[in-house]
Structure 1
Amino acid sequence: MTTNRTTDAVLRPASMDDVPQMEALIALSGVALSAGFYTPEQAQAVTALVFGVDTQLIEDGSYFIIERDGDALACGGWSKRATLFGADRTKTGPDRLLDPALEAGRIRAFFVAPSAARQGWGSMLMEHCQKEAAAAGFRTLELAATMPGVPLYLASGFEVIEPFEIALPGGVNVPLARMRKQIGGLGPCGSKPPYAAAQTMEP
């Protein structure tokens, strides 16, 4: 658990008891913070059909919540599993473990409450998740960014490696960006760490 003594905000591992509060935060954040990046139709569709909590990360101890006085300010995590994005409802099968020596870990499901936006909570989560993933042996991280999230990830040192879209019911296409960052040292002879492409694509 990490406490920001300036604000009395606490960053801690999320529990299953936190899921209702985090889902409510995600529903608000997904729509409100998409203004100017997505159309209202795109924001509503991706929030309702894709965004949400992946409880596997809670079970793995790699999903976190930042709260102050019992109110959730932000949530987000990292993952040692193949799924790149999406809530429980988007999964169709087992979520295999990644090989840290060959594959990139994931940054997953970062959301900030609209009332707490642009106050550094996303950066706080990112720093914590990168340290945790590095401690688990990962040398590269990947994520699938929504357009509102791209500025945070660029500021955190990620690079866009592939723009793509997901097609949602009702003829709604939502643009995303696959992004990557090296967090470990160089491999033998100064080579960069190898990675394998993800088996599952998600936002």
Structure 2
Amino acid sequence: MSFTLRTATEEDLPALRELMALAIDTLQHGFLSPEQIVASRAVMGLDTQLIADRTYFMVEEEGALAGCGGWSRRATLYGGDHSVSLREPRLLDPATEAARVRAMYTHPSFARRGVGRMILDQCERAAAAEGFDAVELMGTMSGQPLYAAAGYRPIEEVTDMVDGVPVPLVRMRKELEASSSQRKLGS
């Protein structure tokens, strides 16, 4: 069996939302308390701007949704449509700002099988193709091991308070390798 990656569309929204809810509720055990898992729903979820921008991807195996995630050229670092206070739709300047990796989720049945890495690689290639030299993301406690293994480094610890419940997060960054056209110019 092999994974396929494709760009998500508006028709995929119900399946994406279902996967995200399952991933939040299942994969955070051992990292967050039950109260923190419930609170994290307020700061996680799908930002449909990523779908509209065609920068959100799905990984499937024989028609089964294995994972999803994307990147953005917009300033919003994390949060879903319901996280209005976190949204900043301004376009980033690739010469001075890092692209964003956003809304990474894996179906629990497909955890630790390379789905997240496949999506990260696609996001990094797409951001580099648009001239970005770095990417940043807001990592959950359960996502940090993947991001660290993929070369992301912590730059800021954040606690998002939701109705008095702390949700710990870590802002992480990765410098991207120079694109092949940049390497040619430099040689």
Q: Scaled by the length of structure 2, what TM-score is found?
A: 0.91
Q: C-alpha separation between the residues in 2 aligned to 1:25 and 1:122?
A: 14
Counterparts of 2:2 and 2:10, CA distance in 1: 23
| Structure 1: segments with no counterpart, 5+ residues | 1-6, 186-203
Amino acid at match of 1:27: A
* Cα-to-partner distance string for 1:38-76 (whole Å, 9 max, x where unaligned): 0011012212x1221111111111000111232210000
Q: 1:35 aligns with which of 4, 29, 40?
A: 29
CA RMSD in angstroms, aligned pairs only: 1.4
Q: Assess if the C-alpha contact under 8 Å between 1:138 and 1:184 holds in 2.
A: no
TM-score (norm 1): 0.84
Q: 1:23, 1:50 → 2: CA distance?
A: 14
**1:155 maps to which residue?**
149
Q: How many residues align?
A: 178
Select 1:118's aligned residue among 96, 112, 125: 112
Q: Equivalent residue of 2:95, what SS?
A: coil
**Structure 2 portions without partners, runs of 5+:** 179-187
Matches of 1:26 and 1:126 in 2, distance apart? 17
Q: 1:160 to 1:94 in 2, by over 3 A?
A: closer
2:75 is matched with which residue: 73, 76, 82? 82
Q: 1:6-25 residue pairs with structure 2 within 5 A?
A: 7-25=1-19
Runs of 4+ off more than 3 Å: none
Residue 20 of structure 1 aligns to a residue in which SS?
helix
SS in 1 for 2:105: strand
The match for 1:109 is 103
Displacement of 1:31 after TM fit? Answer: 1.4
